[in-house]
Amino acid sequence: MKSKFEYAVVMLAGAALGVLAVQGLHAQGAKLKAYVITENEILDAAAQAAYLPTARKLIEEAHGLALRTAAGRVVRIEGDAPPKTAALIEWDSIDDAVAFYKSKAWADLAPQRDKAVKVVRRYAVEVEK
């Protein structure tokens, strides 16, 4: 009876080590999601209305997820005054986000964007799961 118990304990310990090893391997190769936060000032509401569908389409094509904050309120909780508007975009990784904002497609949209909004600040934040 004692040997069966010992085998069971050894098997459980081996299974636990295996689970830990697999999780460690997954963590090494996993990229963290990233969110790009853009603080904007609307320069021309009509130009913004024309610009947003094109910008959202480009973001989707690059596998970003626009969280549709254009009409949402921005409320200060602490610190300096918040921007009038803010945009949030989810990306699979910070590398994907940076690549998109440095892409030719995004650069080509600059004239339309510059008529619609003034970008006060744009930054990316990695997020652990």
Look at residue 1 in the predicted model and tell me its pLDDT. Answer: 56
Look at residue 128 in the predicted model and tell me its pLDDT. Answer: 87
Q: In the chain, which stretches have pLDDT less than 50?
A: 8-10, 12-13, 16, 19-22, 25
pTM tops 0.85:
no
Look at residue 14 in the predicted model and tell me its pLDDT. Answer: 54
Per the prediction, the chain carries an average pLDDT of: 84
* DSSP designation for 104: H
| CATH topology classification for 33-127 | Alpha-Beta Plaits (3.30.70)
HSE, CB side, 13 Å, CA atoms: give it for residue 34.
Answer: 21
Token code pair at residue 73: 């309120």
Instruction: Kindly report the backbone phi and psi dihedral angles of residue 105, in degrees, each rounded to the nearest multiple of 5, phi listed first.
Output: -60, -45
Residue-range domain boundaries for the chain: 1-30, 33-127
